[in-house]
Copies of this chain bind each other. A is one copy, B any other.
Amino acid sequence: MPYSYLSHLYCPKTGERYPAGRVQQLSQVGAPLLVAYDLQALKETWKPADLVGREASLWRYHELLPVRDPANVVTLGEGFTPLLPTPRVGQDMGIRDLWMKDEGIIPTGSFKARGAAVGVSRALELGVSRLAMPTNGNAGAAWALYAARAGIEATIVMPQDAPLITRNEVYACGARLFLVDGLISDAGKQVAQAVAEEGLFDASTLKEPYRIEGKKTMGLEIAEQFGWRLPDVILYPTGGGVGLIGIHKAFKELRELGWIAAGRPLPRLVAVQASGCAPIVKAWEARAKESEFWPDSQTVAFGINVPKPLGDFLVLEALYESEGCALAIEDAELLKEQRRVAELEGAFVCPEGAAVFAAARRLRENGWIKDNERVVALNTGAGIKYPDTLTADAPLLQPGERLPR
């Protein structure tokens, strides 16, 4: 059996096919390329029971990933993250069957590790030796670290306001790091210029086809961890939206493989954004096919501050196809929810993850989430990566002083 059943790439706008065997960026019409597999052949030979006893990482699904030779796998042990029951916060918001997929338990402390692991591995396989990307922090940290492990030179440009810890990660591994006194869109322009002038591989979100495949494994894991019975609703904090696109793609592939029931509807996907940056919500409310640039975007949930995602049409398509929805959460509300989740479940989630819990609460209140539905909140990273989102208030004692009751 081949290690990967990778077949080809295709443009989701025109359907045009592209060979997978060499470096590709966007399609001729400027759309992100998607990855296709030989699912008919795979269906004959690959069964859920084959996964039993495989390693506890996303590479357990290597047949459905794009790396052809296991020697090219660049791994830090990412994936197969916990899917935890969260009954106390569920009870607090009236959802009896609430779960958290915890992407904080992963190298670099953020789900960006999935896209980086698969994207860097495939770049290595295709002979890339230098890559560049703009980032709001976590993606750049992940790509820089995986690139270091692969021996690939990385050039990372991030806003100077991006979380300090992600800057440290990029710096620690010796990548070329630049800060810009502006937004990720400014960083993007600078990367585009360097790509053109220096011949670097452009690893910007969705400008390379393989990070979606890494993110897709969140969907594969949710399916496997629930014994191939999918939940009713999955809430996802949406910036670039790659994970949401990937999860939906995973479920469609599993349906074609016959691993999940063909008759049942796929999970309703919910794109959760911040009120200060909600282009997908605005587009979804207008039933539009694409989003519009969101000016002066701002939120404490830095990872979802993306004013005009390149894959917006794919995100919206996944929402419409799955009969999902989109909604925006105020910063104050998500910060409150962050503490509630920590108090009730012992999980210190990131602000983006907290937004998802707040959204679940809202959707239960307005009845969109129904009684007895199984709901998964996707926490995309560890709260510890954002030391500035809360200020601990604690009495300072002198040695020998008795603890106040």
Contacts and interface: CB of A to CB of B under 8 A. Distances in A.
Interface in A159-201: 160, 164-165, 167-174, 176-182, 186, 189-191, 193-194, 197-198
Given A107-B347, A179-B395, A342-B173, A387 B160 contact: no
Interface stretch (A75-83, A237-245, A282-290, A303-311): A75-83
Interface string A77-116: 1001111100010000000000000101111110000000
A112 B394 CA distance: 22
A390 interface: yes
A403 B177 contact: no
B346 A148 contact: yes
Q: Which among A170, A181, A385, A397 has the highest number of chain B CB atoms within 10 Å?
A: A397
Given A105-B77, A403-B157, A394 B343 contact: no
A387 B387 contact: yes
Contacts of A402: 190, 193-194, 197
A261 interface: no
A402 B147 CA distance: 23
A119 to B, nearest CB: 13
Nearest to A86: B149
B84 A75 contact: yes
> How many copies of this protein are present in the complex?
2
A394 to B, nearest CB: 4
Nearest to A120: B346
A220 to B, nearest CB: 15
A393 to B, nearest CB: 7
Given A346-B149, A396-B180, A403 B169 contact: no
Interface in A374-397: 382-385, 387, 390, 392-397
A403 B342 contact: no
A338 B172 contact: yes
Contacts of A176: 403
A57 B82 contact: yes
Nearest to A190: B403
Given A165-B384, A172-B339, A145 B181 contact: no
A344 interface: yes
Interface string A36-80: 000000000000000011001100000000000000001111001
Contacts of A75: 82, 84
A108 B397 contact: no
A204 interface: no
B82 A172 contact: no
A157 B81 CA distance: 31
18 contacts: A52-B52, A76-B82, A77-B83, A105-B107, A148-B342, A148-B345, A148-B346, A150-B346, A165-B384, A168-B390, A177-B392, A177-B394, A189-B400, A190-B400, A190-B401, A194-B403, A198-B405, A382-B384
